[in-house]
Structure 1
C-alpha cells in the first residue's frame, strides 16, 4: 500500500511539474562535478561547493580509489572567472578542498555555515560571512537550512551540514539541499519555501567501516523526496565522482523509470552540463 500511495504522489507531483514551462531570464545551473555548481542567478555568477582538485589528488573515503575519481571537464581559470559569490554548504573536502582555497581570491564574497566560521578565517577569506538564518546579498534573499549528514555515531563523525534557499525577483526559487538524508526537516523546508527547483545530493555515500549507514540520500530516499516535491523539478547531483558514493546516475535513473518519473521531473545532469531554469 505504501508503494502504491508513493507512486500516486510521484505521478501527481510530476504532472504538476510538467505544467510548468516557464523559464527565467539568464537563470541557469551548470554541474561542474560532484556537488560543485555554477549558478547564473539574478544577474550574478555563483559558485557552490567548489571541489577543484585534479583526479586522484585526495585520499580514498570508501576504500576503492583516490578522489575525485574523474577529472574536471572545465578548466579552473574560466570556472572562477568573473565570480560574484561562493556558497559553501560545509567544509568537507568534497565541497571545499585545498585546490579551491588556493584558486579563489581571498577577497571573494563567501557565504558559509556558522560551524565553518573558524575554518574560513584560517583559510584567509576576508569576506567570508557565516549565515545564521537568512540575509539579503545584493538582490538575492538567501536562507540557510539544516541538513542531517547521517545517523547515530556516523552523524557525530560527519558533523554539521547546511543547505541554502535562494529567492530573487523574476527568478526561480532554488533549494540547494546539501549533504543530507531525507528527513522531516527537508520535507518541511519544501513546504515552507515551495521551491521551483530542488538540487539534491543523491550519491548514497557511505564511509568505510560504516557501510550500512548512508550519509546521503540514495535511490529510495530521492524517490521519497520527489513524492513530496510538489511543483518543484529535481536536479540530482553528487554522483559518479567519489569512491564512497554507491548511487550512480544509471542506478538513480533506473529507479526513477520504475516509478515512471520522467527526465522532465528528475534531471540528472552530466559533468559540465548546463540546465536552463
Structure 2
C-alpha cells in the first residue's frame, strides 16, 4: 500500500465511520442516538445498547460529505438528522432520495452507479439485507467503493450477507481495505435467517481476498446482533486469520494507515 496518503478510518459506533480519504472527511451512516433511545430489534433491550464514545459536535466537525448506505434507524437516525446541517452534502442510494429530501436536506446527490467528487470516485454496489421472506421487509441497501490515485481502494460492504453481488464487487474492484458489517443480526420472527454477515461469512470475505485488510464493525451496539468482537476474533484465530489482516476496532478507535 505504498500509495497511501495517511488515510484514517475511525469507528464511532455500530456502522458509523469517519473516514479521512484523499484529503476529505467522509461520515458514513450516522447514528447519534443516546443509549436506549429507540425500539428493540431483538426483544432484549432498547437500542442503541451503548452510548456514543465521542460528542456529536466532535463527530461532525470538519465533515465534507455524509455517505448513507440506507436509511434504517441504526444507520441514519433522527438524532443525526437533527444534528447535521441541512446543507451538508449527502450521498445516497436512489431508493432513499425521497426519504432524505423529506427531512429537508437540500444538498443531496443520488449515486446510481458511480461519480467523481474532488478526486475521489465513489461507486455504488449491491447487496442483500437477508434472504428469503425477511428480505421483503428489509428494503434496498447499498455498499460503496472509494477510489483515488493517492489512496488504497476501500469497499464499504454495508448491511449485506454474503451473496454473489458482494463477491462480484470484491473481484471487480479488488479493494485493499474491506469494511464488513459483521454483527450477525437476526429478527425474532425470522430467527433462522441472518440479515448481516456473521463470523463465518466475515472469515469467508477474508479468505476470498487474502491480500486485503478487513475492518469489521456493526457489533455490540444493537440488541439483535449476535456476533461479539471476541467471538469474531476467536474464529479468525481458529481459521489462521491474523490480527493484522482482520481489524476489529473498539467504539471510538482510530485506525491510521501510514
Instruction: Report TM bin, short chain.
Output: over 0.9
How far apart are the structure 1 equivalents of 2:210 and 2:171? 8
Confirm or deny: 8 A CA contact 2:3 2:150 kept in the other structure: no
Unaligned runs of 5+ in 1: 1-19
Unaligned runs of 5+ in 2: none
CA–CA distance in structure 2, aligned partners of residues 83 and 36 of structure 1: 13
**1:168, 1:42 → 2: CA distance?**
7
- Does structure 1 conserve the Cα–Cα contact (< 8 Å) formed by 2:183 and 2:198? yes
Q: Which residue of 2 aligns with 1:183?
A: 163
The equivalent residue for 2:177 is 197
Cα deviation 1:172-212 (Å, max 9, x = unaligned): 10000000001121111111101010000000001121111
Residue 125 of structure 2 corresponds to which residue in structure 1? 145
Residue 209 of structure 2 is matched in structure 1 by 229
Contact 1:28–1:275 (8 Å) recurs in 2: yes
Q: CA deviation at 1:230?
A: 3.5
Quote the Cα distance in structure 1 between the aligned partners of 2:180 and 2:10. 14
Inter-partner Cα distance in structure 2 for 1:230 and 1:147: 21
| 2:192 corresponds to which of 212, 216, 221 | 212
Cα RMSD (Å): 0.9
Residue pair 1:23, 1:276 contacting (<8 A) in 2 also:
no
TM-score (norm 2): 0.98
Post-superposition Cα deviations, 1:9-52, rounded to whole Å, max 9, x if no partner, equal xxxxxxxxxxx6x4722310000000000000111111000000
- In the alignment, the residues of structure 1 paired with residue 3 and residue 248 of structure 2 have an alpha-carbon distance, to the nearest angstrom, of 18
Contact between 1:90 and 1:116, CA under 8 Å: does it hold in 2? yes
Equivalent residue, structure 1, for 2:89 = 109
Q: What pairs up with 1:26-175 in 2 under 5 angstroms?
A: 26-175=6-155
TM-score (norm 1): 0.91
Task: Tell me how far apart the structure 1 counterparts of residues 45 and 3 of structure 2 sit (CA, whole Å).
Answer: 40
CA–CA distance in structure 2, aligned partners of residues 130 and 92 of structure 1 = 17
1:253 equivalent in structure 2: 233
Which deviations, in whole Å up to 9, do the C-alpha atoms of 1:66-103 show, x marking residues without a partner?
00000001000011012100000000000000000000
**SS in structure 2 of the partner of residue 209 of structure 1:** helix
Q: SS in structure 2 opposite 1:30?
A: strand
Q: CA deviation at 1:249?
A: 0.5
How far residue 229 of structure 1 moved from its aligned partner, in angstroms, is 1.2
